[in-house]
Structure 1
């Protein structure tokens, strides 16, 4: 057995290579494949498996709101002063608005080119409106939007299901923390850090159940939508996935190129989390892992703590694509003309309704139904036409939402000089070796065999 000094000289012992089937990504992929098979072979039984996916997402959601709160607060606290935090937040919001608008415009252009919904009038007329979520739940507008982002009380923000409320409370709490004396800030920061780690531990345990949750969710989707409705709307689903791919590898790829990143390397670094998002059709499922991985890669705690949670409320690129394409689908299916003036008005409505959409599966559909109702001239019962295949489209939506925020974190952290560029290059060059090395260093910290992490109040940056 090597002595502590030998550990310092020689580095941590080599990590044993785990069999491929013990990796979370492999297990989720296998579970998804089994879910598809069960859904087609036993559709009645598969429909009852919905509860498995729902329970898994409920467990994840239980830990997400506290994690977002602590991450945002710690991100603001790591800035050291309010001016620095405000600058990063302002740049992030401008970026979010520009990219989200680009997603809405791309969706409208693609919907017009493909002619989505044309020829589906008979299907739309026969739809059962009772299948669609009630539109009243998603009432939107400037007044409603402002009212919804402010919670009635501190605890209510965590039970409301509105992630945006948690972000607002966390920002105010973090700003208040910066106004305290330094020695008090340090004591509070230490306590928050400990509690935050406890919640990460809770979510890590829940993540062990990810393959089971993905199996139930996929089996239910295929079992309930694998028949007539899925076949009738296959064209729309394929077109939507194509548009999402164009946005991810075209628009986001261009953003990465401008910032000096390779989008394929970024995707490889977070492939486990993105596979989980595809399996559960939920952005929240990947949030805990992304918060830890992006910080490990070399993005400062401040940038990760501010950009990722805020992006989950304001940077929903997949939701923007879904809303623009599917709203025009309803209009075309019912023969309602939508010229350029009407589509520009629709764009303005969607710029409001797309903000703060729920990040769990189903939230985008509720907001979509609300948008259709807000237009005043589109039938809300038309949303039922898309309800049968929503699950298949929501996988692409959640993937685009989540990966869009990953890209935003890397890009904004670099532009705002909140990044260890050398460390990021190592992480993206060989993700597996980098993560294995990071885990080994983390495990050896209690023995004092690794160098201490950078101070929370002095994030590592490259200028």
Structure 2
């Protein structure tokens, strides 16, 4: 049944005119946005509400989708110890990837040295730029971050729309339903049914993705202009090169060691990655990525935990940015840092890169938080980066998105919670949009199969 459904879905995709395929529409939106922002900059900058509106629509759906996905997934796991193993393995992998990302940024900036020769005087830098982010950065210490995971109220987590508080509530409710026996069956089925409704509704929102990408890109190019790359072009090139090396070498090796292809994985999530490129945020891609991980054969109870966690604990793009931007400021201001100072800075960044998670512009906020407690580097140095930060945010978000998708598949494989046959078959044919579940089976119960867990709606899709 599942194999026939895949063939039917592929035939449906092939029969579509190319201009009706989502990722093609997003590409067209991005291209039109660049042209509009370049030739009509004032008009392009005025299109910002289109991008912001799309991101807000998606964020509106993230909290309930994460809640339903995690609750449905954990209640399907008979051994509760598996959840603990998944959390421990995920955190270990996330911190390993973060360390490698920090080193990738450090090696790139030391080898290419984009700031050498600029001879910027610290006294000439505008302190008001850093002041805007200092208040946010002061509230992103590790202790504050851990306490922030606990919401003020049950519904407050959903009202704020932040992933980690929703994740905490989802785990608690899922374990409660697992222990409630027959009394919790009705709630479990209701959550599963509501999950299908949410994904169908999210499919409607995704039809606006080309418009959102168009507005966001037109604003970026119109407001900052291609010329703003100018003198700092080498820094941007260094950052993109560091991100590319991290993805190809580190993530490519991780994927190969676990028996799947990085390039096929990137192709499979191409729609989500294009949306991330257009909006400079990885959040709009979360619901679609959760759905596609299930299509790849990953059990919802595992991938539904790992991916939302990665959005707060595995920001590898921001980690690369932290080391690269910090050393760049030192180079530009002619400040020499010893290896001991650099090592201390890397240890601090392991905390600040997590502490700023969930904050808008988290990479820039984490940089301010790091410089605020580093006496050797001027926090006013961030003024050098503010004009090009928007052009670097796309690479931060894309790198973190690819890393989290690879990590989710990897952890699922480690936990024997991913059907390798389905994974190979799906990656081999590329991504195709899953049809909306039929109303007649929307509330179908969850079933177990010999090589993984899927819902009856998924097997019938």
User: TM-score, with normalisation over the residues of structure 1?
Assistant: 0.89
Tell me the residue number matched to 1:175.
Answer: 175
**Aligned residues of 1:75 and 1:305 also touching (Cα < 8 A):** yes
Q: Does 1:391 align with 2:395?
A: no
**Aligned residues of 1:70 and 1:196 also touching (Cα < 8 A):** yes
* C-alpha deviation, 1:12, in angstroms: 8.9
In 2, distance between residues paired with 1:90 and 1:72? 17
SS state at 2:365 partner: helix
How has the CA–CA distance of structure 1 residues 169 and 453 changed in structure 2, closer, same or farther, with 3 Å as cutoff? closer
Gaps of 5+ in 1: 1-6
Tell me the residue number matched to 2:343.
Answer: 344
SS state at 1:370 partner: helix
**Aligned residues of 1:281 and 1:394 also touching (Cα < 8 A):** yes
* C-alpha deviation, 1:408, in angstroms: 0.8
SS state at 2:76 partner: helix
**Aligned residues of 2:137 and 2:366 also touching (Cα < 8 A):** yes
* C-alpha deviation, 1:366, in angstroms: 2.0
Tell me the residue number matched to 1:79.
Answer: 77
Q: Does 1:206 align with 2:205?
A: yes
**Aligned residues of 1:312 and 1:405 also touching (Cα < 8 A):** yes
Q: Does 1:40 align with 2:38?
A: yes
**Aligned residues of 2:265 and 2:427 also touching (Cα < 8 A):** yes
* C-alpha deviation, 1:184, in angstroms: 2.4
Deviations 1:128-166 (A, max 9, x none): 443453211122333222222222222222333542222
Q: Does 1:67 align with 2:59?
A: no
* C-alpha deviation, 1:210, in angstroms: 0.9
**Aligned residues of 1:78 and 1:459 also touching (Cα < 8 A):** no
**Aligned residues of 2:142 and 2:355 also touching (Cα < 8 A):** no
Q: Does 1:96 align with 2:94?
A: yes
Deviations 1:384-443 (A, max 9, x none): 2211111111111111111111101111111110011111111011125xx47x64xx65
Tell me the residue number matched to 1:4.
Answer: none
Q: Does 1:248 align with 2:240?
A: no
Gaps of 5+ in 2: 454-461
How has the CA–CA distance of structure 1 residues 443 and 160 changed in structure 2, closer, same or farther, with 3 Å as cutoff? closer
* C-alpha deviation, 1:50, in angstroms: 1.9
**Aligned residues of 1:284 and 1:359 also touching (Cα < 8 A):** no
* Greater shift in the superposed pair: 373-382 or 26-35: 373-382
The alignment covers a number of residue pairs equal to 446
SS state at 1:455 partner: strand
In 2, distance between residues paired with 1:264 and 1:185? 42
Cα root mean square deviation, aligned: 2.8
How has the CA–CA distance of structure 1 residues 127 and 379 changed in structure 2, closer, same or farther, with 3 Å as cutoff? same
* Greater shift in the superposed pair: 237-246 or 341-350: 341-350
**Aligned residues of 1:163 and 1:356 also touching (Cα < 8 A):** no
**Aligned residues of 1:274 and 1:286 also touching (Cα < 8 A):** yes
How has the CA–CA distance of structure 1 residues 405 and 186 changed in structure 2, closer, same or farther, with 3 Å as cutoff? same
Tell me the residue number matched to 1:282.
Answer: 281
In 1, distance between residues paired with 2:416 and 2:335? 49
Tell me the residue number matched to 2:152.
Answer: 152
In 2, distance between residues paired with 1:420 and 1:67? 23
Deviations 1:337-358 (A, max 9, x none): 2221111111111111111544
Tell me the residue number matched to 1:332.
Answer: 331
* C-alpha deviation, 1:371, in angstroms: 2.0
Q: Does 1:455 align with 2:461?
A: no
Tell me the residue number matched to 2:423.
Answer: 424
SS state at 1:122 partner: coil
In 1, distance between residues paired with 2:398 and 2:10? 36
Tell me the residue number matched to 1:165.
Answer: 165
